[in-house]
Structure 1
Amino acid sequence: MSTLTDAELYERIREQDKEALEILYTRYERLLYSFSYNMIKDKQAAEEVMQDVFFKLWRGKGAGTYTESRGKFSSWLLTITRNASIDHLRKKKMEIYEWEERDSVHEQMPSVEEEIENKEERTELQAVIHKLPDEQQRMICLFYFQGMSQSQIAEACGIPLGTVKGRLRLALKKLKDMVAVERGIEIE
């Protein structure tokens, strides 16, 4: 059964197949834990977030539904983990790290990237992020890798919330288009 794809295992989990859940857990526990720990900086809380993500996956509640045509399973799982980590931070009212110039995407991508299994995709993602204007790189880093809300980014950067939303929206569109071009996919 371990030769099944993530999507096939996910479908089996939806049918309450415990073995499928165990296989996905083994495949992704380290990645999700590292990702959450990078945001929360608390081992026990990161473990709880990871467990919560798998519990949501098992229960089929709070995780949404994965659709293979919309992207990789691992990306979907990381998004759920990111949201659960942010929820944890908000509940604990922890102060989220403020942007410092030394954290520039030009110097080094956050260590979350190091945990992503596919080196080619990581390299591709780094390359396209580096092509973004600095202010858009900063928004992507703060929002996706440091877990800041759009309001927190606006406050930390001293810019209007609408500007943050616009830069994020534009950055994501550019990233999507650049990745499509890199992969030779026709853009709709």
Structure 2
Amino acid sequence: MTKGDQKLYHQMLHGDKQALEEIYEKYEKLLYSFAIKLSGDSQLAEEVLQEVFIKIWTKKAVYEEGKGKFSSWIVTITRYTCIDLIRKRKKNTVAFEEERDEVHQETPSTENLAEWREEGASVRQAVKKLSNEQRQMVDCFYFKGMAHREIAEQCELPLGTVKGRLRLALKHLRKELHQIREKGGIHDA
């Protein structure tokens, strides 16, 4: 968490709406693009963005500095919110193909695309260094949006094994990405 993020977050926790707006302005494009990438639906992405900031403002999602970067935390909140809303829509509504065809998707800026590609390449490089088992867990959980229990059932593994492999994979990924950042491969948010 940068000093600016930390200060804004603490101000927001004490009811400062301007601080919330500044956090929103800083992260909205990243989170919106991420939600569109996960869902393929700009309306759902807007709903996700709104829900994420409501969770932050109402303190239903609370950042803990010792557990990682603020930017990683807010992206994780966005990911879970997006997956929840996708699941909710699948259960509660029947989507009409005509409505899907009318959805307008915004194109990310060239600068954002370049940054995403650079980070994506670094993440793919780091993922390649994981064991096959860990890579499978990361793919299922982060890229396919499966729950721990779903992964356990699909892979025919105990739930604890799935969670353990994911924890170990994340530990290795953090270490590898830290080394890549030190070499100048990724720029911190």
TM-score (norm 2): 0.69
Relative to structure 1, the CA distance from residue 178 to residue 15 in structure 2 (aligned partners, 3 Å threshold; closer, same or farther) is same
Question: What does the per-residue CA deviation read over 1:58-78, in whole Å, with 9 as the maximum and x for residues that have no partner?
Answer: 222x212331x3321110101
Q: 1:50 aligned to 2:49? A: yes
Cα deviation per residue 1:82-137 (whole Å; 9 max; x = unaligned)?
1111221232236xxxxxxxxxxxxxxxxxxx769588765543322111123322
What percent identity do the matched residue pairs reach? 46
Tell me, what secondary structure is at the counterpart of 1:5? helix
Q: 1:75 to 1:6 in 2, by over 3 A?
A: same
1:136 pairs with one of 131, 134, 137? 134
Partner of 1:71: 68
User: How many pairs align?
Assistant: 160
Aligned with 2:83 (options 75, 86, 110)? 86
Residue in 2 that maps onto 1:171: 169
CA contact (8 A) 1:136 1:168 kept: yes
- Residues 117 and 40 (structure 1), Cα distance of their counterparts in 2 relative to 1, 3 Å cut: same
**1:91-110 superposed matches below 5 A:** 91-93=88-90
Is 1:160 matched up with 2:157?
A: yes
Aligned to 1:149: 147
Quote how far apart the aligned CAs of 1:14 are. 1.0
How far apart in 2 are the matches of 1:118 and 1:5? Answer: 22
Deviation of 1:150 after TM superposition, in Å, equals 2.1
* Separation (CA, whole Å) in 1 of partners of 2:118 and 2:6: 21
State the distance in 2 between where 1:66 and 1:118 align.
Answer: 25
Contact 1:31 1:115 in 2 (8 A): no
Structure having the higher helix fraction is 2
User: 1:120/1:9 Cα in 2 relative to 1: closer, same or farther (>3 Å)?
Assistant: farther
Say which SS state the counterpart of residue 63 (structure 1) adopts. Answer: coil
Residues 63 and 73 in structure 2, CA contact (< 8 A), matched pair in contact too: no
TM-score by length of 1: 0.69
RMSD in angstroms over aligned alpha carbons?
3.0
Contact preservation (8 Å) 2:63, 2:70 = no
Partner of 2:29: 30
Note the residue ranges of structure 2 that are not aligned, 5 or more in a row: 92-111, 183-189
